[in-house]
Structure 1
Amino acid sequence: MKQLIRNNIYIIVCILLINIGMSFVFIRIDFTSNNRYSLSKVSKTIVQNTLDPITVDFYVTENLPQDLKKLAKEFVYLLKEYKSLSNVNFTINIIHPNNEQTRQKAIEAGIQPLLIEISERDLEKIQNIFMGAIFRIGNKQSVIPFINHNTPLEYEITRLLKQSTDTLKPRVGFIKGHREASLGQMPQLINELSHLTDISVIDLFNTHELERYNVLCIIDPKDVYSPYEKEQIDKYLREGGRLFIALNHAVGQINESQNNGFINWTGIEDILEEKGLKIQYDFVVDNNCGTITVNQQNGFMNYQSSVSFPYLPIITNFSKHTITHGLNALLLPFASSIQQVKTNSTYIFTPLATTSSISGRQQAPIFFNLQKQWTRRDFNSPHNIVAALLTNEDNNSAIVAITDADFLINDVGIFAHPLRTDNINFAINSIEWLADNSGLIKLRNKFTTFATLEPIDDYAKNFLKYFNFLLPIILTLGYAGIRFRFNRNKRINRSRPGYID
């Protein structure tokens, strides 16, 4: 008896010691197929190489809806995982902005309050909530202004840590002088790109040290490049340079006076064709497409309606490459197809994005018939390449080319509009891969999501209801029957002469 008591005391003491020890160590096991809740190798390396103390002030409103409460809890768990790997003092402060002073402090630091609609006891109410974080790394301060289900948490945290440790950022040059898109027309792209790179605007006539730039970007040129400028670009590539090219090769004009499409040749097409990538003089059309608003008439009534417009293909087919990792869909207004051609060049051609199986091509110039009834015969050329990569192992140069530039342009003034997240991600992934200096590409599309139940029919619901109700009863009765039979046999055996239990 004493031995039993002693063993129980040992077990209790061991359990207490394990629980006390685990309160100082953060460990969780990730069983998800895509390692959603595990830190990537690049995140582990960056947090372990951060030498300055880290303090995170997480401003989060109390009594959040259940889905946001889960997200806030996941953000804290993720921070604890970073803390467990860090070699410096890593402090996590959870702050509930319950008073005006705390709320004002959060807003001044850059945390953005969000208005959300909350259902509470059959009542709908609008509430201002805070869910953002301030990172202080050494003497630098950065902010995640708000966190929602579309926020790639690991990417944002690792990006902020990397910003604090990087002393030299890759240099990215945007070429000007041919009426290219200005930086002001691409605020989403520039905002994302500025976190990890130094951005400059350059003129090929006045810049002679192009090798200083890790990547050169050519976005939406409208005028022709001179032979001297094309030679400058070729020289840059021969010395191992890297290009990101987005051309509005096919131009569509839709307004009250004209509905036509034509080709705008800039000379960049010649540089690409010499290296094995030919941009065709056509417009791709796709059954998987965006919509436009057109005026329609029904009797004496005029009204506007949205109609599918195959010249605005939505691209969902991507090759397995780091650049396209995690992308879901790109919207490419008025894109042209790309063809691989044989040349004496040593560049290797790799498709990155293609149209769907129900797509086609139309030779330019064309007239847009907004009332056209599209049939399957109009989509007789499937899987057209619209984005491709050229790599040269001899000099380590590379080019990413996509046959649309409007997918990156927000525009300005009354014409400004937000872009799809994947549109920006494709460009950022391309430039970061070309700069070869980040390792964050795979994290940008790693979101925290929570499993949901698939909808089921009434038959399955009834089956599961009765199954859940009857199964415990059947198991209990079955176990009772087995125990009854076992005890009865035991009594019978004990009644026999000479039986020893």
Structure 2
Amino acid sequence: MKKTYTSFILVLIVLIIVNIAARSIYKRFDLTKDNRYTVSADTEKILKQAYKPIVIDVFLDGELPSEFRKLKLETGQFLEELAALHPNLKYDFLNPIEDATPAETEQITAQLLSNGVKGAVATIQEGGKSTNVTVFPYALILYDGKTTAVPLLKTVARATAEERVNSSIQQLEYQFADGLRKASLEKDKTVAFLRDSDELSDVRIGDFIGSVNEYYNTRPFGIEFLTTNDTIAPQQVLEVMNKFDLIIDPKPTAPYSETKKYLLDQYLMQGGKMLLAVDPIVMENDSLSNEQRKAYPLPRKLNLDDMLFRYGLRLNNGLVKDLKHAPLALATGQGRNTQYEAYAWPYYPISKTSKDTSATAQFITKNLEDVKFEYTGSIDTLKNGIRKTILLSTSDKAKELTLPTVVSLNEIGKEVVIESYNKSNLPLAVLAEGSFTSAYKNRVKPVDLNNPTDEGKEAAIVLIADGDVLKNQVLRGEPQELGFDIRTGQLYGNKEFLMNTINYLLDDTGLIKLRNKDIQVPFLDSKKVIDEKFKWQFINTVLPLLIVAGFGFVFMWLRKRKYQA
């Protein structure tokens, strides 16, 4: 008896110690194959820097289609991981229009839209019936009086609802980390947009500027006015340029002066970063608006060739055609009956990767949607000791037309001669990194600078052979989302590619890692579920009862037999 009592006391003491240890020592284990519930070090860093309370409202509740219920489940599990890391993070799932009247629903929808939350119509299929419901696949992060919208449903070209949700689940950590960063962190880097060589107007790159401005400070900047203003010293301008972490030139159309080239060259020699979206071809769709429906593309003279050549890059002004391309939308009908129809248009190459298997290329372009180009040239890379990474290229069925040439809408519908597409993987976007040699080495300098440099520090250039990659469409004077084609409803990956590139150039690689996270989510086959519904209902409800009844029968029979004996 005394031994039993002692054992009981020991067990009780052990249980108390285990409970105390469990309260003070906390550890979660992720046993999934793809580590989907393991929060990355970059996200943890953002959470640690966000020291104030965080409130997250997720608008995924109520009656939802099956794929959205899966997204809700995964979102809840991920937020649980975030809450385990941040003691002051609270989250809740809610349906913003639950029990609301039509008038209240309209008012709530407008209020959510003002915060960046857009509603979408989804279909619930159950028992052979379809019901349309409005869903808001967003979360709102409230931090320090600031509200940030987090989109949870990713748009994927030509994808089923399940594929979209699967892609969205892959992006969950990135979307929340991105939202937390926007809400809690101060901008510490500055990006300059050059506005002095007849570049794209602010409204034509409004969404791109806005996207960059969410992460970094943005400033318009000009260099060309130096050639007409004697009161400004080039040295002072260069000193201002050196304060920028990145300089972007969005589709210049006027030739560079030697002064501008030299200042950009010396900026690069000081370790600067540049993104040049240069259009080597003069060609716009407006040129096709004539009776002949023809246009004659010409080379664009930008006075850049010698500078780029010294850096190991060359812009080709041949017009690229590709069998892998985006459509061109043309109007049919008149007046109120006007509609747009999409036609194959090989002058709009699309690309989301290249044959470059380097880690850098894969890092920037992994999981991209197709990036759309319009009337683009191509790029040659030259050997000069600078590291070149081909980020995007054409398909293996492309060709390059020598200028001048003719582009005609009459080509639409004609039989394609596949054999003529005999070029493959023409580079469209190239990253060059290394210690560059000045384009003005052993040359007469256009202006005097203090201590000019011929051999530079580690620097980087991204050259894109089409300025329209940065261009958004405009509707009623408002810039639309970059990459979205109003007339076809297609969303391309232009913005994601550009933001990945900018993040890389500014050594902000944590966000790219999160974008590239791979998670595979299994989904039920809805047709198989309907076909086998009765079988699984029987297995899950009737069969367990039959098993219990069988055990009961056997038990009673054995007991009766025992007492009869």
TM bucket normalised to smaller: 0.7 to 0.9
Aligned twin of 2:563: none
> How far apart, CA to CA, are the structure 2 residues paired with 1:410 and 1:425?
13
Q: AA paired with 2:419?
A: R
Aligned twin of 2:498: 427
Alignment CA distance shift 1:278-1:395 (3 Å): same
Judge conservation of contact 2:297–2:403 (CA < 8 Å) in 1: yes
> How far apart, CA to CA, are the structure 1 residues paired with 2:504 and 2:56?
29
Alignment CA distance shift 1:214-1:83 (3 Å): same
Judge conservation of contact 2:320–2:375 (CA < 8 Å) in 1: yes
Aligned twin of 1:395: 457
Aligned twin of 1:337: 378
Partner SS for 1:366: coil
Counterparts of residues 19-98 of structure 1 (less than 5 Å): 27=28, 29-33=30-34, 35-86=35-86, 88-97=87-96, 98=98
The equivalent position to 2:255 in structure 1, one of 224, 228, 248, is 224
- How far residue 217 of structure 1 moved from its aligned partner, in angstroms, is 0.4
| Equivalences, count | 444
Aligned residues: CA RMSD: 3.8
Judge conservation of contact 1:153–1:447 (CA < 8 Å) in 2: no
The equivalent position to 1:437 in structure 2, one of 508, 511, 521, is 508
Name whichever of 254-263 and 329-338 sits farther off: 254-263
> How far apart, CA to CA, are the structure 2 residues paired with 1:377 and 1:229?
43
Q: AA paired with 2:371?
A: L
Judge conservation of contact 1:71–1:448 (CA < 8 Å) in 2: no
Correspondence 1:266 to 2:302 = yes
Aligned twin of 1:192: 211
Partner SS for 1:212: coil
Judge conservation of contact 2:297–2:406 (CA < 8 Å) in 1: yes
- How far residue 67 of structure 1 moved from its aligned partner, in angstroms, is 0.8
> How far apart, CA to CA, are the structure 2 residues paired with 1:126 and 1:26?
43
> How far apart, CA to CA, are the structure 1 residues paired with 2:480 and 2:44?
37
> How far apart, CA to CA, are the structure 2 residues paired with 1:334 and 1:340?
20
Alignment CA distance shift 1:316-1:135 (3 Å): closer
Alignment CA distance shift 1:139-1:313 (3 Å): same
Q: Which runs of 5+ in 2 are unaligned?
A: 155-164, 226-236, 333-338, 436-455, 484-490, 540-565
Alignment CA distance shift 1:391-1:312 (3 Å): same
Partner SS for 1:173: strand
> How far apart, CA to CA, are the structure 1 residues paired with 2:143 and 2:471?
33
- The CA deviation string for residues 352-410 of structure 1, in whole angstroms up to 9 with x for no partner, is 12212222222112112415532233111211111111112451210011111212211
Q: AA paired with 1:141?
A: T
> How far apart, CA to CA, are the structure 2 residues paired with 1:139 and 1:323?
34
Alignment CA distance shift 1:435-1:238 (3 Å): same
Judge conservation of contact 2:433–2:461 (CA < 8 Å) in 1: yes
- The CA deviation string for residues 57-102 of structure 1, in whole angstroms up to 9 with x for no partner, is 223331211110110121111111112222x422223334324499
> How far apart, CA to CA, are the structure 2 residues paired with 1:191 and 1:351?
27
- How far residue 200 of structure 1 moved from its aligned partner, in angstroms, is 1.0
Judge conservation of contact 2:328–2:345 (CA < 8 Å) in 1: yes
> How far apart, CA to CA, are the structure 1 residues paired with 2:390 and 2:151?
37
Judge conservation of contact 2:65–2:123 (CA < 8 Å) in 1: no
Name whichever of 409-418 and 388-397 sits farther off: 409-418
Aligned twin of 2:234: none
- Identity level (%): 22
Alignment CA distance shift 1:89-1:455 (3 Å): closer
Aligned twin of 1:283: 319
Judge conservation of contact 2:372–2:492 (CA < 8 Å) in 1: no
Partner SS for 1:92: strand
Name whichever of 263-272 and 395-404 sits farther off: 263-272
Aligned twin of 1:486: none
Partner SS for 1:141: strand
Judge conservation of contact 1:278–1:340 (CA < 8 Å) in 2: yes
The equivalent position to 1:378 in structure 2, one of 397, 414, 420, is 420
Aligned twin of 1:128: 134
> How far apart, CA to CA, are the structure 1 residues paired with 2:395 and 2:151?
37
Judge conservation of contact 1:61–1:130 (CA < 8 Å) in 2: no
> How far apart, CA to CA, are the structure 2 residues paired with 1:283 and 1:456?
47
- How far residue 182 of structure 1 moved from its aligned partner, in angstroms, is 2.3
Name whichever of 134-143 and 394-403 sits farther off: 134-143
Correspondence 1:155 to 2:174 = yes
Judge conservation of contact 1:326–1:442 (CA < 8 Å) in 2: no
Correspondence 1:115 to 2:121 = yes
- How far residue 247 of structure 1 moved from its aligned partner, in angstroms, is 1.4
Q: AA paired with 1:360?
A: K
Partner SS for 1:51: coil
Q: AA paired with 1:426?
A: F
> How far apart, CA to CA, are the structure 2 residues paired with 1:332 and 1:188?
17
Aligned twin of 1:239: 270
Alignment CA distance shift 1:45-1:178 (3 Å): same
Correspondence 1:364 to 2:403 = yes
Alignment CA distance shift 1:142-1:453 (3 Å): closer
Alignment CA distance shift 1:250-1:38 (3 Å): farther
TM-score, L = length of structure 2: 0.69
> How far apart, CA to CA, are the structure 2 residues paired with 1:174 and 1:50?
30
- The CA deviation string for residues 148-174 of structure 1, in whole angstroms up to 9 with x for no partner, is 536532122112322344334310110
Judge conservation of contact 1:325–1:442 (CA < 8 Å) in 2: no
Correspondence 1:408 to 2:470 = yes
TM-score, L = length of structure 1: 0.77
Alignment CA distance shift 1:65-1:447 (3 Å): farther
Q: AA paired with 1:188?
A: D
Q: AA paired with 1:239?
A: Q
Judge conservation of contact 2:150–2:175 (CA < 8 Å) in 1: yes
> How far apart, CA to CA, are the structure 2 residues paired with 1:26 and 1:121?
43
Counterparts of residues 175-186 of structure 1 (less than 5 Å): 175-186=194-205
Aligned twin of 2:393: 354
> How far apart, CA to CA, are the structure 2 residues paired with 1:349 and 1:27?
43
Q: AA paired with 1:203?
A: G
Alignment CA distance shift 1:269-1:125 (3 Å): farther
> How far apart, CA to CA, are the structure 1 residues paired with 2:217 and 2:49?
22
- How far residue 105 of structure 1 moved from its aligned partner, in angstroms, is 6.7
